Amino acid sequence: MIRTSFPLRHAVRNGTALVLVAAVLAGCGAVDYTPPTAELPASFSADAPARDATRNQQWWAAFNDAQLNQMIQLGLARNLDVAQSIEAVNEARANARLAGAADTPVISTSASATRGDSDGTGVVTTQTSGTAEVSWMIDLFGRNANRRAQAGAELDSAYLSVDVARLTMMSAIANAYIDARYYQEAMALTRQSIESRQKSLELTQAQVEYGSAPRLDLVQAQQLVAQAQAQLPALEVGFDQSVNSLATLTNQRTAVLKGMMVRGAPQPRPRYSASVGVPAEAIRNRPDVIAAERDYAAAVYGIGVAKAAFYPSLSLSGSITPIDVSGSGSVKTWSFGPTLSLPIFNQTNNANLSITESRARQQNLNWNATVLDAIEEVENALAAYNRDGRNIAAQRRLVETAQETVDLARTSFEIGDTQFFTVLDAERTLLDARTSLAQAVRQQASNFVALSVATAGSGLGPRAPATSEASVQTAAAN
């Protein structure tokens, strides 16, 4: 370490020269970051609807369901996972301010006053003094610049993590709501079936009493009623669990949400098709993909920070101290000069560089994996969503034919042209067909959510991350 002190005039002139040299050297240490790229297919393997940005922003509006909209808003305002991600942004903002502060001078002051007889002569003196100190670490090789860029990328990633948390929460709320409405529909269908089977049981019991039907028909009718009744508890549990999930996601009491849900509503169905587009459009707006790129950028800038540790560091410091002694006048001392620190042998720097380079490679691999996962999610959601319409149409035809079969079987049984087993089998088929239709409607809604979430971004409108430097400057201003 070398330390020098010299007259203030020369110090200012030479200090200015040092600043200019430092600016040039700092540019030499800057990291040339290039965002990663991936070869995306020109189109998805399944047919993809054209992209409509207005629909993508609030995909849940496709259901036109006021209660679902209310649940989403509650989740945005009260969900604890989202709140944690927002708090992580506050931490990243503070870290960005810390990184930005490294380029600013540090100024400190102190003052003291003493009074007494220091030499035992009986003369009391008062001495006052004050010191003002300033120090400035000059960024010779881009350490601070890279740290600012790294902190900015980390702040961008934190903002995007909020979008990811919101997307996850909204998807979970929508699916829990879809499940709850399905269980309500299934319970209603089962109760209708129980009522219908109970009527058949009463008719069979009357025929057995008159001797026109064997007791076997009565036992089979009782069995059919019991089968339907046995299905209800599982459906009730499914509904309760879905409401409990909604309560957790919206940070509400279960009793409050159950009161809202028991009023009932039709199963949610999307009123328009999902918006997808080509892979480049669908993937580039996903917050998890953008966040992975920002994480990679932060890791690359970390390499620049590690490399700067191999080079000298220079700081300028100065102080001025006026001292006043009563009866003896005053004096003023000052000092100003550079401090140069040069690492000679430090294996820690080598290890840190290897660590940061490995982290950058890991983040690059993570970005590529995130892109591949995103494409797979869209492909899977498209494959399922494109078949939902045909499935629902087929299930509706099955319900219609099953209902007609039940009507014909009952009429034939009442006039004695068929056995009661035919009625039992027809009623069992009808309940299964109605339940399958409800499941198909549920699956279509869930697949719509999955496809919309996989391609829609946060659903709260576009929000591109700030550049690293802008992120730090914005954080420093707040």
pLDDT of 53:
54
Q: Which of 30, 36, 100, 20 is nearest to 307 (CA)?
A: 30
Give the right CATH number for 1-30+104-138+311-345 from 2.30.29, 1.10.3470, 2.20.200, 2.60.120: 2.20.200
Contact 442, 270 (CB under 8 A): no
Give the separation between CA 84 and CA 228, rounded to whole angstroms: 45
**CA-based radius of gyration for the chain:** 37
pLDDT of 473:
52
pLDDT of 461:
45
Q: How many CB atoms lie within 10 A of CB 298?
A: 23
Q: Which of 174, 139, 166 is nearest to 65 (CA)?
A: 174
DSSP code, position 58: T
pLDDT of 127:
75
In words, the CATH class of domain 37-102+141-309+355-477 is: mainly alpha
- Domain map of the chain by residue range? 1-30+104-138+311-345, 37-102+141-309+355-477
φ/ψ region of 281 (left if φ > 0, alpha if ψ in -120 to 50, else beta) reads: alpha
pLDDT of 298:
96
pLDDT of 7:
43
Low-confidence spans in the chain with pLDDT less than 70: 1-30, 47-57, 117-123, 264, 324-329, 331, 456-478
Q: Which of 105, 196, 96 is nearest to 468 (CA)?
A: 96
Tell me if residue 130 falls in helix, strand or coil: strand
pLDDT of 327:
59
Q: Which of 122, 110, 124, 111 is nearest to 325 (CA)?
A: 124
Residue 54 to residues 62, 260, 284: CA-CA distances in angstroms? 11, 30, 16
Tell me if residue 134 falls in helix, strand or coil: strand
pLDDT of 3:
37
Q: How many CB atoms lie within 10 A of CB 241?
A: 14
Contact 261, 35 (CB under 8 A): no
Give the separation between CA 305 and CA 294, rounded to whole angstroms: 17
DSSP 236-283: HHHHHHHHHHHHHHHT--HHHHHHHHTT--PPP--SS------HHHHH
User: Which amino acid is it at 217?
Assistant: D
